[in-house]
Amino acid sequence: MIVTLNPKILHFSKLNPRSPLSRPSPRFHRTRTISLTTNCKLQNPQDGRITKTISLSDSAPPVTEESSGGNGGGGGGGGGGGFLKRLPRKVLSVLSNLPLAITEMATIAALMALGTVIEQGETPEFYFEKYPEDNPVLGFFTWRWIFALGLDHMYSAPIFLGMLALLAASLMACTYTTQIPLVKVARRWSFMKSDEAIKKQDFADTLQRASIQDLGVILMGDGYEVFMKGPSLYAFKGLAGRFAPIGVHIAMLLIMVGGTLSATGSFRGSVTVPQGLNFVMGDVLAPIGFLSVPTDSFNTEVHVNRFTMDYYDSGEVSQFHSDLSLRDLNGKEVLRKTISVNDPLRYGGVTIYQTDWSFSALQVTKDGEGPFNLAMAPLKINGDKKLYGTFLPVGDTNAPNVKGISMLARDLQSIVVYDLEGKFAGIRRPNSKLPIEIDGMKIVIEDAIGSTGLELKTDPGVPVVYAGFGALMLTTCISYLSHSQIWALQNGTTLVVGGRTNRAKNEFPDDMNRLLDQVPELIKTSAD
């Protein structure tokens, strides 16, 4: 094998892996070309062919020469934004302090836990009653603490947003003063000029009869970026792992920005609408924070076409559905969809969720008269079961003691009827058209009209938070990539090799021994 060296930097590349190595051209003879003829004997042939080539490079990125090992020049703190450059170094040092960042995260976690324990968004009367001054919680905590610190709206309170801003400043300072300089160092070419410097690395070995060019070809085949200058070699791979901490910090910043937008720029509201009626989005939605700005979609009208319910075999409610139509200012339908629990409607940045249901009215006829729409009132009972009732007066409605027919229902599928004396008279299903006779009167349950419980919400921070969590998962996986560096120095026929890695340190010596076992042994050399 004949290798022609330009007395400049050699760069191993992946150009045309099948092309043979050629002899020097006349152009190279005119520029102090050195020819080296090497006869090689392969110790452990793999596939019988050379898969990489050595190409000459007349120019290269900046290099750093070392005589005592290490990564090369530091470059601490450069490359950040103009704002961070203007900050005093002492301020950046304090903000990037790890114990301070841990304290900030612990404080934010404690505030979030407190926001979970303390009810959010209730009326002042609720807090007066729940946290009275005459019986403070833990002996000191009353409603005054809640209102003074804004704990009734924790996630938009100044204390919470201030801690988020401080943590964001710490992340940016750490990125600027620590992570960016580490990446700069990792990207530099770092040649070592002495055997002692190479032997100080985590792994070091000496090959008595080996060529540095052969080592470069083998390292290229294992995915390394390889650079040469004279008798020195530098190779690295896994540089993306060095960028991962910066990506993690950016992802955390995105999550905090999205959370802040959600807490200060959202609208929320809930409404219970009987079947057949409508409402305007803007009448229901209320701003959450000082960044909440309404949009054109707030003028959209929502019409409840139909409300239905599904039941288990036991009779319990399993699911409820609302057939909704959205209409613009001209009354034109722009969207129609049947929503259910976990299947909301989204339009113009507004999301409509199916959250609850209620019993609005009962349509009945009496002796063929009607139908009468009887409003259903919720009745308080023990437990979480719903119960609704109504009353159909019979006789003189102006009498002091009005009598009538009582009707009770737990859902929309069956109605229990009681006579004028309060005795059980029977059960009827709506729309069954089957009359029930009470004291000579024929009562027919025509229909049960339900009400849908809807929750409306706008949240501009959701896509930002999703992007942040996606970036966090990706960069966390990338952070497990090992950044490995290898140095070599040719001293006659002796080749000194050393290397280190930031991860998988136990496996790194085995990988290095595997690569060095593939380096061919020199059996004869001659120089012109």
Residue partners of 22: CB distance under 8 A and separation at least 6: 2, 4
What kind and span of H or E run contains 184?
A: helix 180-187
Torsion of CA 112, 116, 122, 127, to 10 degrees: -100
Contact 516, 205 (CB under 8 A): yes
pLDDT, residue 394, reads: 86
Q: Residue 58 in 3-state DSSP? A: coil
pLDDT, residue 382, reads: 65
pLDDT, residue 526, reads: 52
Contact 499, 187 (CB under 8 A): no
Look up tokens 């120095």; give the residue.
Answer: 489
Contact 407, 389 (CB under 8 A): yes
Q: Rounded to whole angstroms, how far apart are CA atoms 91 and 53? A: 50
Strands 350-366 and 225-229, sheet pairing = unpaired
Q: Rounded to whole angstroms, how far apart are CA atoms 180 and 175? A: 6
Burial class, 102, CB count within 10 angstroms (exposed 0-12 / middle 13-18 / buried 19+): exposed
pLDDT, residue 82, reads: 58
Q: Rounded to whole angstroms, how far apart are CA atoms 340 and 355? A: 8
Contact 465, 218 (CB under 8 A): no
pLDDT, residue 370, reads: 81
**pLDDT digit string (tens) for 97-148?**
999 999 999 999 999 999 999 998 888 999 999 999 998 988 899 999 999 9
pLDDT, residue 369, reads: 87
> Within its chain, how far is the Cα of 376 from the centroid?
45
pLDDT, residue 444, reads: 93
pLDDT, residue 380, reads: 75
pLDDT, residue 384, reads: 65
**Angle formed by the axes of helices 180-187 and 240-264, to 10°?**
150
Contact 262, 462 (CB under 8 A): yes
Contact 175, 79 (CB under 8 A): no
- Using alpha carbons, select from 525, 526, 528, 527 the residue that is nearest to residue 41: 525
Look up tokens 């009470």; give the residue.
Answer: 438
In eight-state DSSP terms, residue 179 is I
> Per DSSP, what are the bridge partners of residue 191?
65
pLDDT, residue 21, reads: 38
Helix and strand counts by DSSP (H, E) for the chain:
14, 28
The list of the chain residues with pLDDT below 70 reads 1-87, 189, 381-384, 524-528
- Using alpha carbons, select from 309, 339, 372, 363 the residue that is nearest to residue 455: 339
What kind and span of H or E run contains 456?
A: strand 441-458
DSSP 334-371: EEEEEEETTB-EEETTEEEEEEEEEEEEEEEEETTEEE
Task: Report the phi/psi class of residue 215: left, alpha or beta, with left for phi > 0 and alpha for psi in -120 to 50.
Answer: alpha
Q: Rounded to whole angstroms, how far apart are CA atoms 311 and 431? A: 17
**pLDDT digit string (tens) for 317-346?**
889 999 999 999 899 999 999 999 999 999
